[in-house]
Chains A and B, each alone.
Chain A
Amino acid sequence: MSTVRKNPILRIAPPYDDALLRRIEKGFADMLGFGVQFDVREDPSLLCGFIAYIRGTVYDASGKTQLSGVSAYLVDAMNTPVHAPEQEGSA
């Protein structure tokens, strides 16, 4: 019984061109050790960069995710109480 494999999916933020797509495919081929041919889908919501789905693994190089991480870090930093450092040499 043959297993139907889906093509890897590449969600990429505009602008991009074929050269960039080829570069991304080559990069993953070198990284994973096998050829990759993406099903490319333009996704402006990523802001910049791309997200690749290959054999159940997600490779995220998108600006949206980075921005979400920064936002979460900022909220956490702002909600964490700041303790004044102890003064050295206090009598």
Chain B
Amino acid sequence: MEGLNPLDILIHIINFIVTFVLLYLLLYKPVSKFMHKRRESVEQALADAAATRAEADAYLAEAKAELAATGEKARRLSHEAIENAALDAERIVDTAQDEADALLQKAREQMRQEKQAAIERAHTEVVGLASDIAARILSREVTLEDNREIAERFFHGTEGGA
């Protein structure tokens, strides 16, 4: 084995140090700077994304609240419409019932009047028939004495009133 030369070792060491320094200056620092910048941009992007997400969440919450409010308003309007329809229906039924009652009352009154008129006509006919029968009997049965008596009664009655 040939003897090691300290000078070579020194030169290698110096070479190594210089290489190391050069690498540090030319490679490590720029790369480090680059990595740092990159980390910063990534962090910024993450922050922006977080902000955007927060904003989106806020919009979502607002939209949900608005939807809930609209739904509630729609339910309330629907309730009111149903109640109004029920009231209208009740009013129509009441009006129809009143009209039906009035018609029924009118029909009953008309029937009563017609019945009464029929009864009165029947009474008149019955009395007329009885009168005819009485007249026929009377015309057959009247005597001279009856006529004399009628005349006497007439003049006695007028004497009292004169």
Contacts and interface: CB of A to CB of B under 8 A. Distances in A.
Interface residues of B, number: 27
Given A17-B144, A20-B151, A47 B139 contact: yes
Given A47-B142, A64-B135, A78-B123, A16 B147 contact: yes
A79 B139 CA distance: 29
A79 B138 contact: no
Given A63-B142, A71-B131, A31 B158 contact: yes
Contact of B147 (A20, A27, A30, A71): A20
B51 interface: no
A13 B142 contact: yes
Contact of A50 (B119, B124, B130, B151): B151
Interface of A is mostly: helix
A13 B139 CA distance: 9
Identify which of B128, B134, B155 gathers the most chain A CB atoms within 10 Å of its CB: B155
Nearest to A17: B144
B153 to A, nearest CB: 8
B147 A13 contact: yes
Interface string A1-38: 00000000000111111001001100100110000000
A49 B154 contact: yes
A90 B54 CA distance: 94
Interface of A: 12-17, 20, 23-24, 27, 30-31, 44, 47-50, 59, 61, 63-64, 67-68, 70-71, 74-75, 78-79
Interface of B: 119-120, 123-124, 127-128, 130-131, 134-135, 138-139, 142-144, 146-148, 150-155, 158-159, 162
